[in-house]
Structure 1
Amino acid sequence: MMQLWDLKTNASATLPKTGQTSKAGEKFQTLGTISPQSCTKEALERAHNLTKLAVRGQLACLLDGRSFDNMQKLERLVSLNLQNDIYVNPASRRQLRGLPPSFKFPPNLKRLTLSHTCLDWSNMSILELLENLEVLKLKDKAFMGACWEVAGRFRRLKFLHIGRTDLVTWVASGYHFPRLRRLELHSCDELIEIPIGLADAPNLLALDMCYAELAVASAKKIQEAKQRMEEEQKSKVGGFKLSIFPADEE
């Protein structure tokens, strides 16, 4: 299958070892889902045309060691999906110690998805430094902890999804998300409020909430602030949209 461009599997696949002179995988553009053990220097150097990569398994062996160094060589990669193995005992082994430095990530990465990594929110300071990041999906306990205080700026981020987390307090403003267009909060049932300062994010046009009842009041305040801005600027282009599920009875 020397001409194969795309490989997609539901389960985590382990790539077969090939000889140094082999050209197998050189034309791959989409590869997923593969095991962390398959992210070897030889495999990723050969698959230099990759644009999309999904990895699933015990990510500690990928993120904590030198294996992740190979990612920075994927100059064409724009989409990376990292799913940690949740069937690990004891549960403490599921939590990763941290993320690699930002310079080890693919240099042109635009879309990043993390799942079940149970990272501390302090690691978001690393993702802030990914200069081309436009889409960030934090799914199923990707980050855990009561407080996230945003320190830097997500300069190009347009879409942010936070799902199934125990986040209680979130401190941020429009300054931190200058290009954010859409925010999704799913199963954030402990989050007290969405930062009101996000109303100042000039490009924010959509807020989607699902099972985040405590934060509904703050979402409505953001909606009201956006409506006032539209009236003052006499602009109805796009229009801010707020979606709440379950629907508010009021």
Structure 2
Amino acid sequence: MELVTVEASPHQPSPTTTTGKPSCLQTLSMIAPESCEKDVLAKACNVRKLSIRGQMAAFLSAYKGGINNLEELQCLEHLKLLNDVLFINKTLHLPLAFSKLVRTVKKLTLTNTRFAWSEADKLGTLESLEVLKFKENAFTDDLWKPKSGFSALQVLWIERSELEYWEASVINFPVLRQLVLISCDELNAVPLELADIPSLQEMRLENTSKAVKSAKSVRDSKTSKSMELKLSIFPPENESKVPQ
């Protein structure tokens, strides 16, 4: 089937079909939350990639409608939620039914949603999730201690986070293959227990200097167990030092 992509301004209504039949759309990009109406998504039921940008507060908290309409997308594999409206003293929450609504999603990207790290446990129950990207303060607070396992997660990407302390092990990420940390300036260390994950093959740290020492310890620990781990550090340490 030919791939059909539609891109729209966040302030424009999402495209609809002219008949009552399901459309062949497979990608919807930059759609406003208020455009994700039940009848629209029902007609776009073949969509595999969906990105939503706008005010997420009402979209996520809607008792009916809003994020609940995602249940119409039975083929959804890639989902991006980008919040571009902030409210003072307004905390966003993932609905309890989130894992059910996006149960087919393999790749999830959250940007500027500013969830508490405790909300991440709701993502740990996604059995199809393989790639998870947290960008631009997707989560706030300084501690992440997962209570549930990300059973299928292979790639974890954390960018521009306030995270300082992170506890995790093979129990939480049993098949993790790649870890990317970008501009996590406050992160003191990566969990040393990550060395016990047999599938972990690569770690990349960019502008995350405090965690470099622990990342090297993870690499050395895996090496001692005859397991390879590619560790990339940017900027390289010899370039990050200012000449005297």
TM-score, with length taken from structure 2:
0.90
**Residue 203 of structure 1, aligned match among 181, 184, 199:** 199
Q: Which residue of 2 aligns with 1:74?
A: 73
Find the residue that maps to 2:153 and give its secondary structure.
coil
**In the alignment, does 2:137 pair up with 1:141?**
yes
Unpaired stretches in structure 1, ≥5 consecutive residues: none
**In the alignment, does 2:79 pair up with 1:83?**
no
Find the residue that maps to 1:76 and give its secondary structure.
coil
Deviation for aligned residue 1:73: 2.4
Deviation for aligned residue 1:167: 0.6
**In the alignment, does 2:97 pair up with 1:101?**
yes
1:72 touches 1:107 (CA, 8 Å); kept in 2? no
Q: Which residue of 2 aligns with 1:26?
A: 23
Question: Which AA in structure 1 matches 2:219?
Answer: Q
What is the aligned-residue identity percentage?
Answer: 37
Q: Which residue of 1 aligns with 2:236?
A: 247
Q: Which residue of 2 aligns with 1:52?
A: 49
CA shift digits 1:133-159 (9 cap, x unpaired): 000000000001110001111000000
1:69 touches 1:104 (CA, 8 Å); kept in 2? no
CA shift digits 1:189-210 (9 cap, x unpaired): 1011000000111100000001
Count of residue correspondences: 236
Following TM superposition, the consecutive aligned residue runs of length 4 or more in structure 1 with deviations greater than 6 angstroms are none
Q: Which residue of 2 aligns with 1:169?
A: 165
Separation in 2 of the partners of 1:80 and 1:17? 17
CA shift digits 1:62-114 (9 cap, x unpaired): 1110221111221100000000014x4x5444x41344433442221100000
**Residue 12 of structure 2, aligned match among 5, 11, 14:** 14
2:16 touches 2:43 (CA, 8 Å); kept in 1? no
Find the residue that maps to 2:110 and give its secondary structure.
strand
**Residue 126 of structure 1, aligned match among 122, 125, 128:** 122
Specify whether residues 164 and 24 from structure 1 end up closer, same or farther in structure 2 by C-alpha distance, changes over 3 A only: farther
Specify whether residues 17 and 8 from structure 1 end up closer, same or farther in structure 2 by C-alpha distance, changes over 3 A only: closer
Deviation for aligned residue 1:41: 0.5
Separation in 1 of the partners of 2:16 and 2:144? 44
2:76 touches 2:104 (CA, 8 Å); kept in 1? yes
Find the residue that maps to 2:150 and give its secondary structure.
coil
Unpaired stretches in structure 2, ≥5 consecutive residues: none
Deviation for aligned residue 1:122: 0.3
